[in-house]
A and B are shown apart, each in its own frame.
Chain A
Amino acid sequence: MALIPFFAMVRKDLLIFFSDRRSVIVSFVAPIAIASFFGAVFSGTGGDSQPTRIAVAIVDVDRSVISRGIVSGAQADEDLAVTTPDEVQARASVRVGEIPVAVVIPPGFGDAAGLAFLAGAEQPSLDLLFDPSKRMELAMVRGVLTQHVMQAVSREMFGGAEGQRLVEQALPQVQASTTMPEEERQRLTTLLTAVGQFNLQRNDSPAGEPPQGLTMPYVVREQAITSGENAEYNGYAHSFAGMAIQFLLFAMASLGVEMLLERQRGLWRRLRSAPVSKATLLSAKVASGALISLLILFVSFAFAMVVFGVRVNGSVGGFVLIAIGCALMASTFGLLVAALGNSPATARGITTLAVLMMVMLGGAWVPTFVFPAWLQEATRVVPVRWAVDGFDAMTWRGLGLNAALMPTLVLCGFAMLFAAIAFSRFRWEEG
């Protein structure tokens, strides 16, 4: 391969790329801006930041000891941000999307819940008003609320004055019941009598600890498995990988369209009249594209490192290998655009769609774990998936060089496939 023409081609492509202010902005500034946004959205609760609380309105119409216990329990919960408006305000807030869920504790809820708890009486309903676009929050509130209701009801039933009153109210009802089987009625009578005695003893010794009620029979120890004990998950690592790949693919698609324009303008006739092989001409295009791609990746990650504290916690060599594989894949994708595109105008439209599909399915926008299981498997044929997963592995997952080898090989495989198709299909002449 003639090196002087090769390097001249590469240099020329770089000069042209950097002479176009718009393409520079689109390639370097846009991924940083969008990745910063996605990073903020998906970064989770790392570092010193406070956990994101779910806003919940609790309307306590009941005003019983139990309902007040539920409200105070919810207010103390670190997963919830509780407000206590009236029902009209709560409904309005849910309707306009200010809060995802409102809980209405109806009148008589405390008594009914206590009786249902002890004596199997009819269960009262707790009304949940929710924003249908936020069902995930609804499920979380439902789970958290279960704990606080159980705790408030059982606490009052085993030691509270209200509980004692309900036991005394429930005992004659059970004894007089004609629908309950005899054996069950006797057992329940024994249970209520024992609870009543337990409550009387507690009330006679007020110096004792306040009743706790039923609590969760376990505690959860949460441990994020990242690159190390003190290494937090950094959502910016993923978003910057995804956005950098998206915009370098756009840049390479533009390079491919530029090749079509060069052919249209007769430049390839002049290039081919020089003593330079086709392989040199196309290889130089791949090289210049790969260099630009690498630059986009490194600038994006450098910004993420300086501003958002993203770190290559895994193998630096692996990170570089994946970056090179990704750059080659993107660059040959640009060549493929030039080889298969009929005209610059049609190629532009089709490649924009192709790039968006690739980055969407490759997990560049949102992590692939939110995809359905079948789609997670299917997207393994998308090169972007391997690039994004590879960068995740080398950054916040902190994996070693071995974890970089497969993504790098797959990306290089895609690059070879794209190059082979492009080299065989590239039309040198217009028409």
Chain B
Amino acid sequence: MLDIRHVRKSFGALVAVNDVSFTIAGGQLLGLLGPNGAGKTTTVSLIAGLLSPDSGQVLVAGEPIRGDDDPRKRKIGFVPQDLALYDELSAFANLRFFGALYGLSGKPLDGAIHSALGLVGLTDRATERIKHYSGGMKRRLNLAAGLLHNPDILLLDEPTVGVDPQSRNAIFENLEFLKGQGKALLYTTHYMEEVERLADRVVVMDHGAIVANDTLAGLKALVPDAPGGRTLEAVFLGLTGRSLRD
């Protein structure tokens, strides 16, 4: 479904992403881990079409994305780390706007909005301005906005930052449901337990490059004597080191 081939992206002298390759199949959730500055967000931006790679290819269903208005971008849903929503508008108005950006209108748009709101449990609060929402509700709406156009691929950039356990659990259930529907999910996070719960494969990046790409069990086997035992966090620290990152 999503095929990243030898992608490289630099900003001046800084190489943010260097020769990154991985694939995500339908019905699979890939956890993308890495310390701050590892290149995760740049990788997600490259896939979402926000940046163009210096070299390499991002293939969506076997085809590269060309230009800002390439219709193939409809196959991708993007859930940014920021709460990219309009506080002054209701949930319904927000979704109506984001759906229209993907060319949806009329009944199909209304249907998509009701489905997305139902999925994230916000149907009852749909007409309320979201500035009155809690952080967890906004996170769920942020997810809903990425799902409206029924994308095959969903990019989730730290989608659970700052939410309570209830909302986090609800988001996990949503993602498991989407996985079950055959969608390909790329999930970046700093929370190891989330990856342990959700991910089918894990890619670990550091200094712009991939240092590991395996299943959870495979990763744990890579660092059998990690200090602190065979937890994902211990493996992560074993792969990326203990030095602080800014």
Task: Mark out the residues of chain A between 1 and 44 whose CB falls within 8 Å of any chain B CB in the assembled complex.
Answer: 2, 4-5, 7-9, 11-12, 15-16, 19-20
Judge whether A273 and B69 touch: CB under 8 Å. Answer: no
Stretch of A148-156, A184-192, A264-272 with 4 or more beta carbons under 8 angstroms from chain B: A264-272
Task: Mark out the residues of chain A between 387 and 431 whose CB falls within 8 Å of any chain B CB in the assembled complex.
Answer: 428-429
Instruction: Give bound CA distance, A7 to B71, whole Å.
Output: 18
Judge whether A274 and B102 touch: CB under 8 Å. Answer: yes
- B45 in contact (CB, < 8 A): yes
Judge whether A273 and B48 touch: CB under 8 Å. Answer: yes
Central interface residue in A5, A267, A428, by most chain B CB within 10 Å: A5
Instruction: Give bound CA distance, A11 to B93, whole Å.
Output: 10
Task: Assign chain A's interface to a size class.
Answer: 20 to 34
Judge whether A273 and B82 touch: CB under 8 Å. Answer: no
Report A-chain residues with C-beta under 8 Å of the C-beta of B129. Answer: 19
Task: Mark out the residues of chain A between 225 and 280 whose CB falls within 8 Å of any chain B CB in the assembled complex.
Answer: 265-267, 269-278, 280
Instruction: Give bound CA distance, A19 to B90, whole Å.
Output: 11
- B96 in contact (CB, < 8 A): yes
Instruction: Give bound CA distance, A9 to B99, whole Å.
Output: 11
Instruction: Give bound CA distance, A270 to B81, whole Å.
Output: 10
- B26 in contact (CB, < 8 A): no
Report A-chain residues with C-beta under 8 Å of the C-beta of B84. Answer: 265-267, 269-270
Report A-chain residues with C-beta under 8 Å of the C-beta of B69. Answer: 2, 275-277, 280
Judge whether B45 and A4 touch: CB under 8 Å. Answer: no
Judge whether A270 and B80 touch: CB under 8 Å. Answer: yes
- B121 in contact (CB, < 8 A): no
Judge whether B86 and A16 touch: CB under 8 Å. Answer: yes
Report B-chain residues with C-beta under 8 Å of the C-beta of A275. Answer: 68-74, 101-103
Q: Which of A9, A15, A277 contacts B93 (CB 8 A)?
A: A15
Judge whether B88 and A19 touch: CB under 8 Å. Answer: yes
Judge whether B78 and A273 touch: CB under 8 Å. Answer: yes
Central interface residue in A9, A266, A277, A278, by most chain B CB within 10 Å: A266
Judge whether B97 and A8 touch: CB under 8 Å. Answer: yes
Report A-chain residues with C-beta under 8 Å of the C-beta of B76. Answer: 273
Q: Mark B46-69, 1 if CB is under 8 A from A, else 0.
A: 001110000000000000000111
Report A-chain residues with C-beta under 8 Å of the C-beta of B48. Answer: 269, 272-273
Also in contact, A270 and B98, with CB within 8 A (given A4-B105, A19-B89)? yes
Seed contacts A12-B89, A269-B80; 14 additional CB < 8 Å A-B pairs: A2-B69, A4-B100, A5-B100, A9-B101, A12-B86, A16-B88, A19-B89, A20-B88, A265-B83, A266-B84, A267-B86, A272-B50, A275-B68, A275-B73
